[in-house]
Amino acid sequence: MLHIYNSLTRQKEVFTPLEPGQVRMYVCGMTVYDYCHLGHARVMVVFDTVYRYLKTSGYVVEYVRNITDIDDKIIKRAAENGEPMDALTQRFIDAMHEDEDSLNVMRPDAEPRATGNVPEMLAMIQTLLDKGMAYQGKNGDVYYDVSKFNGYGKLSGRKLDELRAGERVAVDEIKDDPLDFVLWKAVKPGEPAWDAPWGQGRPGWHIECSAMSQKLLGDHFDIHGGGSDLQFPHHENEIAQSEGCIGHKHVNYWMHNGFIRVNDEKMSKSLNNFFTIREVLKDYKAAEVRFFILNSHYRSQLNYGTDQLDAARASLSRLYTAIRGLPESGPAAYTYYEKRFIAAMDDDFNTPEAIAVLFELAGDINRIRKTQSDASAAALGALLQRLGNVVGLLQEDPESWFKGAAGAGDLDDAAIESLIQQRLDARKAKQWAESDRIRDELKAQGVLLEDGAGGTTWKRA
pLDDT digits (tens, 9 = 90+) for 331-352: 998 789 999 999 999 999 999 9
Considering the chain, what percentage of its residues have pLDDT values greater than 70? 95
Same domain, 335 and 424: no
In this prediction, residue 409 carries a pLDDT of: 54
In this prediction, residue 193 carries a pLDDT of: 96
Question: Rounded mean pLDDT of 39-49?
Answer: 97
Same domain, 158 and 299: no
Which of the four pLDDT bands, split at 50, 70 and 90, describes residue 28?
Answer: very high
Q: Which residues are annotated as a binding site?
A: 28, 209, 234, 238, 269
Q: Which residues are annotated as a binding site for Zn(2+)?
A: 28, 209, 234, 238
In this prediction, residue 408 carries a pLDDT of: 45
Same domain, 289 and 438: no
In this prediction, residue 56 carries a pLDDT of: 97
Same domain, 245 and 277: no
In this prediction, residue 30 carries a pLDDT of: 96
Q: What is the mean pLDDT of the chain?
A: 92
Higher per-residue confidence, 422 vs 313: 313
In this prediction, residue 156 carries a pLDDT of: 92
Residue 454 has pLDDT above 80, yes or no: no
Same domain, 149 and 287: no
**CATH code of 383's domain:** 1.20.120.640
Same domain, 331 and 228: no
CA dihedral 173, 175, 180, 186 (to 10 degrees): -130
The model's pTM: 0.89
**CATH code of 50's domain:** 3.40.50.620
Q: Tell me the residue range of the domain where 247 lies.
A: 3-257
Same domain, 235 and 295: no
Which range (289-293, 300-304, 449-453) has the least confidence? 449-453
Q: Are 243 and 250 in contact (CB under 8 A)?
A: yes
Which of the four pLDDT bands, split at 50, 70 and 90, describes residue 425?
Answer: confident
pLDDT digits (tens, 9 = 90+) for 388-420: 999 999 999 998 898 875 454 567 777 777 888
In this prediction, residue 171 carries a pLDDT of: 39
In this prediction, residue 233 carries a pLDDT of: 94
In this prediction, residue 410 carries a pLDDT of: 66
In this prediction, residue 428 carries a pLDDT of: 84
Q: Which residues are annotated as a binding site for ATP?
A: 269
Of 382, 402, 422, which marks where a domain is finished?
A: 402
Of 402, 433, 450, which marks where a domain is finished?
A: 402
Which range (15-19, 61-65, 217-221, 264-268) has the least confidence? 264-268
Same domain, 376 and 316: yes
In this prediction, residue 165 carries a pLDDT of: 65
Same domain, 422 and 454: yes
Residue 280 has pLDDT above 90, yes or no: yes
Q: Are 41 and 105 in contact (CB under 8 A)?
A: no
Which residues lie below 8 Å from residue 197, measured CB to CB, with a gap of 6+? 122, 126
The CB density around residue 52, as the number of other CB atoms within 10 Å, is 19
Count how many domains the chain has.
Answer: 3
Same domain, 105 and 210: yes
Residue 130 has pLDDT above 70, yes or no: yes
Q: Give dist(CA 154, CA 17) in Å, integer.
A: 22
Considering the chain, what percentage of its residues have pLDDT values greater than 90? 77
SS (H, E, C) the chain: CCEEEECCCCEEEECCCCECCEEEEEECCCECCCCCEHHHHHHHHHHHHHHHHHHHCCCEEEEEECEECCCHHHHHHHHHHCCCHHHHHHHHHHHHHHHHHHCCCCCCCECCEHHHCHHHHHHHHHHHHHCCCEEECCCCCEEECHHHCCCCCCCCCCCHHHHHHCCCCCCCCCCCCCCCEEEEEECCCCCCCECCCCCCEEECHHHHHHHHHHHHHCCCEEEEEEEHHHHHHHHHHHHHHHHHHHCCCCEEEEEEECCEEECCEECCCCCCCCCEHHHHCCCCCHHHHHHHHHCCCCCCCEECCHHHHHHHHHHHHHHHHHHCCCCCCCCCCCCHHHHHHHHHHHECCCHHHHHHHHHHHHHHHHHHHHHCCHHHHHHHHHHHHHHHHHCCCCCCCHHHHHHCCCCCCCCCHHHHHHHHHHHHHHHHCCCHHHHHHHHHHHHHCCEEEEEECCEEEEEEC
Task: Return the biggest CA–CA distance within the chain.
Answer: 92
Same domain, 273 and 309: yes
In this prediction, residue 170 carries a pLDDT of: 46
pLDDT digits (tens, 9 = 90+) for 149-206: 999 999 999 887 777 765 554 434 688 888 999 999 999 998 999 999 999 999 999 9
In this prediction, residue 12 carries a pLDDT of: 98
Of 379, 402, 425, which marks where a domain is finished?
A: 402
In this prediction, residue 441 carries a pLDDT of: 81
Question: Rounded mean pLDDT of 56-84?
Answer: 96
Q: Give dist(CA 39, CA 169) in Å, integer.
A: 32
pLDDT digits (tens, 9 = 90+) for 76-128: 999 999 999 999 999 999 999 999 999 999 999 999 999 999 999 999 999 99
Same domain, 270 and 332: yes
